[in-house]
Structure 1
């Protein structure tokens, strides 16, 4: 029996357990939309493809499941590219299905074809950042390509893939047996682990070390291995530092959590890593800002420190630091083996009360240093007070999305995360505009949890049409716009090094330009609250959570820099020989 490919595609997605498809219409994909109108799939309609990509990214992170994007050709595909690249650099599995020009018009330069260097070349745009690009040349190959796309997106180091489909193929009929046979193929591959001999070698090195440190990255969350990591560090009393993407792998109030490293890390955490004799890297790529530009005097010094590194991606092992023991493995599987071996070798475990006391004292000192800022009644508000109030009001398992600037760097440094996987932040690409739409994806994935987006006015202002999707989907996300009328982090850098904030602050006629984001929210049919004083913020947030409705809270914030006890050599590029970083900008 033959049937339209568009209808069989929708049925395949249903069988695979896909619940939502994120995207935007175009003349190349309406055959698929028409087929979805008769299905259980929820099409999450957006006003811009970058919004769709970020929502899909947030959904995949929170659901721990591959997201699906449906895109139009040409400008639709390029609009989505930033969001897809963001997912790629954070290893988030996404399948992008994009309409393309009719196959019989290749080379004739039809409407919206990408063709300046080769005909029908839109798929080439994604090649630098996705795991694989397929351009469907024959309708009978489409089912097999689709199967391969999901399998590749989810296996090894996860990431996005692109399937570019000429619009005429969506409207062709093929034998249903071609799709039906896919049901006999597994949807989940068994993941690689490690052997007991290697595990024993690792455990003994960590136990024999004088000052070992576990360094955890976002790969722990992607592998759903936070529980296994916690079991290991509890049993062996190992301190845990983390990258930005690794925040939350161990609760921030756990006695063995050191904190974030690098530029936005603190001197205490960086020194613990720098002076460790063994570093146990799990699911991390040792990125530049997390590692103080890899300069040995600040965060990691390898050698003389020795490195054990486990990652699913062999390309990451030894990329930035020499490795003593390198293991390619799924982290969850590896940690299961390591826990079993550790309990066999050391059934009573180990304790280190002195280390726990030292970490506790450091935390108390850090909190004491922020106490005055948190209590500050000034308006515009201190950023530290905003974060402290949000943490006080939210439940422990609330999901936080961030953008870039104070809401990313300050959150990484100062905002406690208690539930693994409950902070979604753009780490690799650091994409401004991620946080607001990603929160919608997270709420669709976890409708019973509170979801709050901590975003700046620069980031939220990039895609305010995200509010239309929130209203249409009835998604109860709370956006807290930390509004300093600037691209504040960059303004602070430029002012520190060049004495001007030109091009980084928002002005009209030479005066600060205030956008009323609460009014914009109300125009879209979403609740909007503009805060008038520091005392108003907490009750407004509590009311928004209790309402179970979407809400934008616009809160004016001082343009203060995040404290930077670490190092990033961009400052040396700007001002060689000068020890300056960010400054406040009025």
Structure 2
């Protein structure tokens, strides 16, 4: 027996947990992030100090941002390793909710250790306690229940043993992983207990690769062989499973084209003959046209969100069927599809082998058709990127084109929200399986900078770029201080376009006339249509300790990006963009997205938008 506090025992336990998949063994909890308050300073704070050698610690500035950093680290570590996050009770704990939702929606593991109110209730209420008259056992941590894949409150020391083991089970389960919460009452954290030595023994958790059921596999083979215009939709599960090579072999063997969701982009390199780019509302014209005419849609590790299906209007061919290769039965049965429930890599290998035995390959005419479509789209991308006037302010697509000139295969770009995800999904030419890091399951503003820190921690020798607009930057720039403090040389590309550009454009299409979306002074009519606000975001980044390079023109930006890539300290490139015209701007949406429009209105813009909305709604279908 070893006598330790609950917090000390938990830290020792976490330091001894490992994962293994395909012979690769990793430490499960690589480090702990923390912001201390009265709910965790004397418990977990003291334990982390006492066991600093066993458990590395990182100091955060915002609780939500700490979760984002842990999620970025977990994604870059292929979900085999993650970080823990500890906070005090009250606002520190509730600030975890957004990050927890992001982790769970994206199936990425993170361990949350919020402090909680006293289990013994010596004083009631204590500082920051939420009083619930009908239930004495509720605290603000219960807000984390619906966004956690596993939740427990440790009200007795001995309860930690089964709870900790269950937490590790969920974190390492490729199907059920997400945010895991162990709420820790502040008095229990500091309470001593005689722990069995076996609790601290090294444990290795095997990350499973379940294979396909033979009956489902046979049905899948028949469906593919019967199809004349099949299309693969590659989702985030391809990356989670490290199935990129297996998908490439499947596509090359069969000739079937591959389109990708935001989470799945990069499953094939941009120059792979079968890669058709992004799919759906923010997709390419080539991919979306294939989707409209496909007779079999082969979803691999995708949840079929509304952006992918164009809100139920994209897959329009008569008799179209769906074959859903997914580790999750819930997703495997979507759209009344044939389920193929298995690990993505394992099932793709089985499917490829079975089809090869039949010599199956799509018609040459189909291959020629989508190859020409792919080439035409590449010409459109070239036109968007063209920046042959060096002394003018760049458009946002030109910014991306100039960045593409600088980056190499080992660079990683991170984005989550605003107008950049749409432009990136349509235009970016991904060069490696993990170059394109888009968080679009929750599309959380403020994710990019802390996630870049987490990614850089996982791959310290690779260039990591956080692409942020001014709206996202203002949500959460605080972790710049962390990057500077810990010498983490992330690169921020900060694009200033004076407001919420993405929602502004959406507002215009749905009759909202960009109301409340621009960062401007109020005009005499009370609307925000006056002069742009005199904010200086570059100066703000510099004030937080970051090196800042200002770029006013295309020429400046090209030089600044090259200098930033070569920098070995945290560096920000700041550029103000020009409004894109019809030539150099990004191609418009190639598929619809359902955002309801006012059914009755007096302003002409809303009336016109409603007419357009009704036209699109009439094309929606239920796949049964």
TM-score of the superposed pair, with normalisation by structure 2: 0.87
In 2: Cα distance, 1:220 partner to 1:567 partner: 25
Correspondent of 2:184 among 143, 165, 190: 165
Aligned-residue offset at 1:426: 2.1
Contact 1:55–1:441 (CA under 8 A) maintained in structure 2: yes
In 2: Cα distance, 1:314 partner to 1:195 partner: 12
Aligned to 1:66: 82
Correspondent of 1:137 among 155, 172, 176: 155
Aligned-residue offset at 1:56: 1.1
Aligned to 1:95: 111
In 2: Cα distance, 1:124 partner to 1:463 partner: 25
In 1: Cα distance, 2:614 partner to 2:589 partner: 10
Aligned-residue offset at 1:212: 1.0
In 2: Cα distance, 1:142 partner to 1:424 partner: 35
In 1: Cα distance, 2:208 partner to 2:232 partner: 26
Contact 2:30–2:83 (CA under 8 A) maintained in structure 1: no
Aligned-residue offset at 1:103: 0.9
Contact 1:397–1:449 (CA under 8 A) maintained in structure 2: yes
Aligned to 1:367: 378
Q: Within 5 Å, give how 1:29-44 maps onto structure 2.
A: 29-30=40-41, 31-37=43-49, 38-44=52-58
Indicate whether 1:318 and 2:318 are aligned: no
In 2: Cα distance, 1:29 partner to 1:495 partner: 47
Correspondent of 2:573 among 548, 553, 556: 553
Aligned to 2:402: 389
Contact 1:200–1:342 (CA under 8 A) maintained in structure 2: no
- Matched residue SS, 1:421: coil
In 2: Cα distance, 1:74 partner to 1:425 partner: 31
Q: Within 5 Å, give how 1:566-585 maps onto structure 2.
A: 566-570=591-595, 575-578=609-612
Cα distance change on mapping 1:69 and 1:368 into 2, 3 Å: same
Contact 2:491–2:571 (CA under 8 A) maintained in structure 1: yes
Aligned to 2:235: 217
Deviations 1:38-91 (A, max 9, x none): 324322211111111111111111112233211221201111211111111111
Aligned-residue offset at 1:97: 1.1
Aligned to 2:323: 308
Indicate whether 1:529 and 2:549 are aligned: yes
In 1: Cα distance, 2:494 partner to 2:483 partner: 16
- Matched residue SS, 1:502: coil
Aligned to 1:494: 507
Contact 1:381–1:558 (CA under 8 A) maintained in structure 2: yes
In 1: Cα distance, 2:429 partner to 2:577 partner: 20
Aligned-residue offset at 1:471: 0.6
- Matched residue SS, 1:570: coil
Cα distance change on mapping 1:500 and 1:143 into 2, 3 Å: same
Cα distance change on mapping 1:277 and 1:13 into 2, 3 Å: same
Cα distance change on mapping 1:40 and 1:545 into 2, 3 Å: farther
Cα distance change on mapping 1:105 and 1:300 into 2, 3 Å: same
In 2: Cα distance, 1:353 partner to 1:443 partner: 44
In 1: Cα distance, 2:539 partner to 2:499 partner: 19
Aligned to 2:618: none
Deviates more, 1:564-573 or 1:159-168: 564-573
Q: Within 5 Å, give how 1:106-505 maps onto structure 2.
A: 108-116=124-132, 118-119=135-136, 120-155=138-173, 156-177=175-196, 180-181=198-199, 183=201, 186-295=204-313, 299-301=314-316, 304-319=319-334, 321-323=335-337, 325-346=338-359, 350=361, 354-376=365-387, 377=389, 379-498=392-511, 500-505=513-518
Consecutive unaligned residues in structure 2, runs of 5 or more: 18-26, 523-529, 599-605, 616-624
Cα distance change on mapping 1:204 and 1:570 into 2, 3 Å: same
Cα distance change on mapping 1:330 and 1:367 into 2, 3 Å: closer
Contact 2:453–2:490 (CA under 8 A) maintained in structure 1: yes
In 2: Cα distance, 1:580 partner to 1:553 partner: 43
Aligned to 1:584: none
- Matched residue SS, 1:35: helix
Counting matched residue pairs gives 573
Indicate whether 1:5 and 2:6 are aligned: yes
In 2: Cα distance, 1:148 partner to 1:311 partner: 24
Deviations 1:277-331 (A, max 9, x none): 1111111111011111012xxx213761111112122222333x111x2122222
In 1: Cα distance, 2:226 partner to 2:410 partner: 36
Aligned to 1:20: 31
- Matched residue SS, 1:85: helix
Aligned to 2:602: none
Contact 2:285–2:377 (CA under 8 A) maintained in structure 1: no
Deviates more, 1:357-366 or 1:205-214: 357-366
Deviations 1:404-428 (A, max 9, x none): 1222111111111121233222212
Consecutive unaligned residues in structure 1, runs of 5 or more: 582-586
In 2: Cα distance, 1:367 partner to 1:337 partner: 33
In 2: Cα distance, 1:322 partner to 1:302 partner: 15
Cα distance change on mapping 1:280 and 1:182 into 2, 3 Å: farther
Contact 2:286–2:377 (CA under 8 A) maintained in structure 1: no
Deviations 1:130-171 (A, max 9, x none): 112111121111122112112113212421111101111211
In 1: Cα distance, 2:12 partner to 2:456 partner: 25
Aligned-residue offset at 1:196: 4.1
- Matched residue SS, 2:336: coil
TM-score of the superposed pair, with normalisation by structure 1: 0.92
Contact 1:402–1:408 (CA under 8 A) maintained in structure 2: yes
In 2: Cα distance, 1:42 partner to 1:249 partner: 33
Aligned to 2:601: none
In 1: Cα distance, 2:123 partner to 2:287 partner: 58
In 1: Cα distance, 2:295 partner to 2:39 partner: 58
Contact 1:92–1:160 (CA under 8 A) maintained in structure 2: yes
Aligned-residue offset at 1:356: 4.5
